[in-house]
Amino acid sequence: MASSSMDTEAAGQELKGGGYTVAATAHAVDSDSWQQVGLLLVIGFNCAYVLSFSNLMMAPLGWGWGVACLLLVGAAAWYANWLLAGLHFIDGQRFIRYRDLMGFVFGRKMYYITYFLQFTTLLLCNMGFILLGARALKAINVEFTHSPARLQWFITATGIVYFAFAYFVPTISAMRNWLATSAALTLAYDVALLAILIRDGKSNKQKDYNVHGSPAENVFNALGAVAAILVCNTSGLLPEIQSTVREPAVRGMRRALLLQYTAGAAAYYGVSVAGYWAYGSSVSEYLPNELGGPRWAAVLINATAFLQSVVSQHLFAVPIHEAMDTRLQRLEEGMFSRYNLTRRFFARGLIFGFNIFVTALFPFMGDFVNLFGSFALVPLTFMFPSMVVLKIEGKSSGRWSRLWHWGVIVFSSVLCVATTAAAVRLIFNNARIYHFFADM
């Protein structure tokens, strides 16, 4: 519902013709086709996280509320990102970072708030990826030994692999050479997983789809599930992804979003629903743990999921890398100059070293998803775009447009508080019962 002056591609073209400004960055801008970015989104959101979504999204809600929330939250995320994509050009400037957009419209304080929310989201997301990759490696190890290594060893190994990829493939645009491989891996574990889920679902005659627990527990768990559904649909870094799209950037980004929310959503929603259908409310937080297929199938699913996650995790960490590269590297030199390679080595090492350490201390799979989905993604996805539209349009917008955006802001604020409380409660409960170095 943004005004036509900033919501149409014509506005972007006009600004470009007038010489719009772009902030300095060490990474590539305006270099990728919308098809490449759309495929990147489809692959990125069909990552190893989908192996936990049956437990996180469907089990706490049941069939009725589960399917309804999948559709409603998915549609809302699509609309919010479509709106945000139209805010890429404002007053002769192209915003390649979310925090720059918010700082331009609302001032320095909002710049830092957005910076904090976005980077908290991305750090927690990367920790979740490290944990999921470690789970996949451990599941492979379990197939070949009766005394598997502790999860913490696999967390360290996963973090090192992720570090190496982020070091040698430093930007979003540089990922283009890996997209075909990642797509093949995604298709491999999705097809294998769905085949086994259908077989297990047909043979399992005693499935329980009831939502268990006290009314208070069910409410908190349902709020956590809503946060998890938001996580599987949005990233909180759309301006950073859109910065790589060639002109026309707004139209191209919206086409990429259409690909994500159709073909992409069909895949990750399909796996989530199939897992719940096959095993009911007792479905594991890591879906391959439930599979009744042969050893080779379990190894294939876990191996391909791990390898695919190496590419996917990079998409959700690039804005952090971009910020550090822009600050620490020499922008006039190439990304692979000796000076920039050295600086990037220490920057990536600092990020992944911290994430490995924290993940090894607190390996709670669902908590990462619920917390960053509630605390940061709700305002980044829903609240902030409506705030920008209201600020820019002011009283020139229609009454119903203002009411709509104020309604979005109020509702998302309440949702943010409620889902964050549910996520924090879950973390404290898990921290209370978890024993460090337990053989998980």
Spatial contact of 46 and 267, defined as CB atoms under 8 Å apart: yes
Q: Contacts from 349-352 at CB under 8 Å and sequence distance 24+?
A: 349/163, 351/123, 351/126, 351/317, 351/320, 351/321, 351/324, 352/126, 352/159, 352/160, 352/162, 352/163, 352/166
Percent of the chain with pLDDT over 70: 90
Would you state the torsion angle of the CA atoms of residues 152, 156, 162, 168, taken in this order, to the nearest 10 degrees? Answer: 180
| Residue 22, beta-bridge partner list | 94
Q: Quote the CA–CA distance of 366 and 369 in Å, as a whole number.
A: 5
Residue 413, pLDDT > 80, answer yes
pLDDT average, residue stretch 194-220 = 88
Give the pLDDT of residue 263.
93
> What pLDDT score was predicted for residue 17?
34
Closest listed residue to residue 306, CA positions, set 330, 327, 328, 286: 286
User: What per-residue confidence (pLDDT) applies to 181?
Assistant: 92
Q: Report the distance separating Cα 79 and Cα 3, nearest Å.
A: 15
For residue 22, the surrounding DSSP H or E stretch is: strand 21-22
Whats the size of the chain, residue-wise? 440
Alpha-carbon torsion 21, 22, 24, 27, what sign? Answer: negative
Collapsing DSSP states into helix, strand and coil, what is residue 348?
A: helix
Predicted local confidence at residue 12, as pLDDT: 35
Residue 255 has pLDDT above 90, yes or no: yes
Q: What is the rounded CA–CA span in Å between residue 431 and residue 238?
A: 33
Pairwise CA distance, residues 96 & 245, whole Å:
10
Q: What are phi and psi of 21, to 5 degrees?
A: -100, 150
Q: Is the dihedral of CA 53, 59, 63, 65 positive or negative?
A: negative
pLDDT higher than threshold 90 for residue 239: yes
Looking at residue 363, what is its pLDDT? 66
Going by pLDDT thresholds of 50, 70 and 90, the confidence category of residue 5 is very low
Quick one: pLDDT at residue 425? 80
Alpha-carbon gap, residue 207 to 107, rounded angstroms:
54
Tokens of 156: 């360290």
- The confidence score (pLDDT) of residue 424 equals 79
- CB atoms inside a 10 Å sphere around CB 403: 10
- Token pair of 45 as six digits: 């959101």
Please say whether the beta carbons of 63 and 238 come within 8 A: no
Report pLDDT for 91.
83
Residue-level pLDDT at 16 = 41
| Average confidence (pLDDT) over 400-406 | 91
pLDDT of 356-389, one tens digit each?
A: 998 888 766 556 556 666 778 899 999 999 999 9
Best CA proximity match to 173, nearest among 340, 20, 350, 314 = 314
Residue type, 39: L
CA 30 and chain centroid, separation: 22
- Judged by average pLDDT, the poorest of 282-296, 321-335, 421-435 is 421-435
Cβ proximity of 325 and 27 under 8 Å: yes
Whether 25 and 260 have beta carbons less than 8 Å apart is answered as no
DSSP string, 186-209: HHHHHHHHHHHHHHHHHH------
Q: What's the confidence (pLDDT) of residue 286?
A: 84
If you average pLDDT over every residue of the chain, what do you get?
86
pLDDT reported for residue 217: 86
SS3 category, 19: coil
Q: Is the pLDDT of residue 28 over 60?
A: yes
Say if residues 440 and 414 touch (Cβ distance below 8 Å): no
Task: Return the number of other C-beta atoms located less than 10 Å from residue 118's C-beta.
Answer: 25
Question: For residue 175, what are its two tokens?
Answer: 């990922």
Report whether pLDDT(35) > 60: yes
Q: What is the pLDDT of residues 262-274, one digit of tens each?
A: 999 999 999 999 9
Tell me the per-residue pLDDT of 82-127, one tens digit each, with 9 for 90 and over.
999 999 998 888 999 999 999 999 999 999 999 999 988 888 888 8
Peptide bond into 288 cis (omega under 30): no
The DSSP-derived string for 374-386 is HHTHHIIIIIHHH
Instruction: Tell the residue number behind the tokens 């989104």, with chain if given.
Output: 41
State residue 438's pLDDT score.
47
User: What's the pLDDT at 48?
Assistant: 85
Averaged pLDDT for residues 254-258: 96
Q: How far apart are CA 439 and CA 160, in angstroms?
A: 21
Q: What is the per-residue pLDDT for 10?
A: 33
Evaluate if residue 33 carries a pLDDT over 50: yes
C-alpha–C-alpha distance, residues 337 and 345, integer Å: 12
For residue 32, give the 3-state DSSP assignment: strand
> What residue type is 14 in one-letter code?
E
Pull the structure tokens for residue 309. Answer: 């996650």
Q: Which of 19-23, 214-218, 371-375, 385-389 has the highest mean pLDDT?
A: 385-389
So what's the pLDDT on residue 20? 61
Instruction: Point out which residues pair with 94 in neighbouring strands.
Output: 22, 89
User: How many CA within 13 A on the CB side of residue 154?
Assistant: 22
User: What is the rounded end-to-end Cα distance, in angstroms, of the chain?
Assistant: 48
**From CA 56, how far away is CA 270, in angstroms rounded?**
14
